[in-house]
Structure 1
Amino acid sequence: MNDARSRLLYVGWTGHGNLGDDAIADALLPHLPAVEPWHVPHDPKAFAHRVLRGGLRGAGDRAVLVGGGTVVGRRNWRLLLEASGLLLARRRPWHLIGIGVEDPSFQGKNSFSAGGELARWKGLCKRFDRVTVRGPRSAALLESVGIDAEVVGDPALLHEPASPIAPRDKLLAVNLGFGDDLWGHDHERVVDAAAGLARGVVADGWSVRFLVINPKDRPFAEEALRRAAVTGEIRLATTVPDYFAAVGDCTVLVAERLHALVLAAAAGVPMAGLEYQPKCADFLASVGSAEWSVRTDRVTPEILREHVDTLARQRPTESARLLGEVGVLRTRLRDELARIRSGAETAGSLR
């Protein structure tokens, strides 16, 4: 591998059919030509295979780049980064941009944040030149263990629709899907709430479009429509352009997946969030939409309908406000990208 391509090693959960993590990588890597085009595997056997196939070669010339996702405060990510720093990327400083912090108040099946895990990140975070995070809750969590951080937003906000799409009247978009666990540990409640919402709006003359951004989530959309006993559209949107095309003309979005919310914000579509884990509320707060977050253990069709009706009434104002918030964060993200690119190029020229 030549010197121009061996300065930064991208650590990210990519290539697994998750639109959000792929959207982060796609937003960042074209702007960072010094990134090695190999993504650290999270499976220990795959990591060992990488090391045995020459991963140690050039480790002293590589620094880590963490591109986003809910990373800090998770034991599995800490162990991965420590192993990467020992074996694959020994150069300092490391870089990150707009990462999320696992909130220990949520303990799910695979949260990996129990037992004071967050405090164990203080030394590891010193390897990074700066720590920038997705939202204000992430910054507050780091501050609680003595780590300074700045909110710059989720890197997927760097995506922009190719052209504006005029919104339709009374078109509700719904996205259902979650990771490994959720508040209340009962996704049936969420599907029931979405079904009740769909039934109610269709009775009042709305159309409903379910957006599926991870193929494994399609059964949730199908079941919600079955329970609602209404006719609705299900649209698969597993790339950023497809998602923008699917969400852009909707009046309002109600979404569970984090990056269904992030990309809707990037398109200026008013949204209410089904907060399956704290990271969703963290993002919504970053764009001034905290009031539209509903935890999945508290959600009801009535709460969702109230949010949808309010957002629909003030659709133009809310869309403009949202785009203004996103614009501020995009500027911060672009400034961070420029700083990381400059730092990597300077380090490369000194070798």
Structure 2
Amino acid sequence: MTDPRTRLLYVGWTGQGNLGDDAIADALLPRLSTVEPWQVPHDPAGFARRVLGGGLIGAGGRAVLVGGGTVVGRRNWRLLLSATGALLARRRPWYLIGIGVEDPAFQGKNSFSGNGELARWTGLCGRFDRVTVRGPRSVELLASVGVEAELVGDPALLHEPGRAGVVREKLLGVNLGFGDDLWGHDHDRVLAEVAETVRGLVTDGWSVRFMVINPKDGPLAAAAVRLAGVPEERVEVRATRTVADYLDAVGECTVLLAERLHALVLGAAAAVPLVGLEYQPKCADFLGSVGSAERSVRTDRVGAAVLREHVDNLAAQRDAESARLLGRVDDLRSRLRRELDAIRSSTGDALASR
């Protein structure tokens, strides 16, 4: 007999050593029983090997599942999804949850969003059962090309701390790291301003914990520590290789100052007050989803004085801000769970009745 269930084929930037993209997959895949155990290769050679190595078998019973990340509005992802839908997963509709939309206002080295790219996604978006997105800017961008979308938040918000951490007084969490480019195209300036912020806070009795969620973050943290010139006992650099590691480390912090998107997302999941170093618009898009848009500082406008003002303000109202943030996150988690329920119901997933 033919299996009436729809198999789902996951498309995402996973297995690259980036905790954020892996956190999305780890949040979603265990909650969906019909996802194939293999994922779509995103490099052309790997994709071709999958097609020639038996990937065409069963393609008629598989539908695309895009789990998250800043995918919509990027030419490389449009081509990958089109090829996947033609060769590896030909069933309709497709599914996605909490996707990010590339903002063409930012043109970096590899944004792939120029020349009216977003408008080319209208047909592709029509293949999805429904379109749900990470933040309010993503909703606006899709509306500008006639695509209706609903804000449900970033899927990594489904992660919750395994234990209640004890918040340490005057402990600043910091993450430094970015993708291929940033507002202002000058990360040395960002390092200098963060280092000055750290130096001033340590002088006033704070300790600082730099958290590494991508191998590229380590050298940036080390450089900031050198520039700050603070006593060794007042600063640490901690590698957080898993979501649980990161949630444990960030949960003890009074305030989090973070650059990578999912350092912010997982900080919000732990209800830690946030200051975002907005290296690209996606960071502001997420902060807007949790009611913290005013805490986004673009990297071409960053300054130690404004960072210090944000940290001091949040530290002074730490408990109230944490509670407010948790309320927003809980609402988004409810939306994400409803979307998962809808996908399970639509695909005949055995977990639908649980």
TM bucket normalised to smaller: over 0.9
For residue 334 of structure 1, what is the aligned residue in structure 2? 337
Alignment map for 1:56-95 (pairs within 5 Å): 56-95=56-95
Compared with structure 1, are the counterparts of its residues 164 and 87 closer, same or farther at alpha carbon in structure 2 (3 Å cutoff)? same
CA shift for structure 1 position 16: 0.5
Indicate the SS of the match to 2:184: helix
| Paired position in structure 2 for 1:324 | 327
Match for residue 186 of structure 1?
186
CA distance in 2, matches of 1:56, 1:158: 33
Q: Report the secondary structure of 1:22's partner residue.
A: helix
Letter of the 1:271 partner, please give it. L
What is the rounded CA distance, in whole Å, between the counterparts of 2:215 and 2:249 in structure 1?
Answer: 15
Task: Structure 2 unaligned segments of length 5 or more: list them.
Answer: none
How many residues end up aligned between the 2 structures? Answer: 346
Indicate yes or no: 2:308 matched with 1:305. Answer: yes
Deviation of 1:38 after TM superposition, in Å, equals 1.1
C-alpha deviation, 1:4, in angstroms: 8.9
| TM superposition score normalised by structure 2 | 0.96
> What residue ranges of structure 1 are gaps of 5+ in the alignment?
none
2:176 and 2:32 mapped to 1: Cα distance?
33
Q: Secondary structure at the match of 1:185?
A: coil
Are the counterparts in 2 of residues 8 and 36 from structure 1 also a CA contact under 8 Å?
yes
CA contact (8 A) 1:6 1:36 kept: no
The verdict on how the C-alpha distance between 1:346 and 1:34 changes in structure 2, with shifts beyond 3 A counting, is closer
| 1:269-288 correspondence to structure 2 within 5 Å | 269-288=272-291
8 Å CA contact retained: 1:135, 1:282: yes
Give % identity: 74
Work out whether 1:151 is the aligned partner of 2:154: no
Deviations, residues 231-274 of structure 1 (Å, cap 9, x unaligned): 31000002100001110010001000000000000000001000
Deviations 1:175-214 (A, max 9, x none): 0000000000010011111100110000001001101111
- Is residue 2:14 matched to residue 1:19? no
Q: TM-score by structure 1 length? A: 0.97
Which residue of the partner structure matches residue 162 of structure 1? 162
Q: Assess if the C-alpha contact under 8 Å between 2:6 and 2:348 holds in 1.
A: no
What residue is the counterpart of 1:236 in the other structure? 239
Q: Deviations over 1:300-340 (max 9, x none)?
A: 11110000000000000000000000000000000000100
Distance of 2:3 and 2:227 partners within structure 1: 57
**Contact 1:197/1:301 (CA < 8 Å) preserved in 2?**
yes
- Which residue number corresponds to residue 248 of structure 1? 251
Contact 1:5 1:33 (C-alpha < 8 Å) held by counterparts: no
Q: Which amino acid aligns with 2:146?
A: G
Note the aligned Cα RMSD (angstroms): 1.3
Q: Retained in 1: the 8 A contact 2:173–2:211?
A: yes
Q: Write the letter of the residue equivalent to 1:188.
A: D
Shift of 1:100: 0.1
Q: Is the 8 A contact 2:33 2:349 kept in 1?
A: no
Give distance in 2, aligned partners of 1:166 and 1:326.
Answer: 20
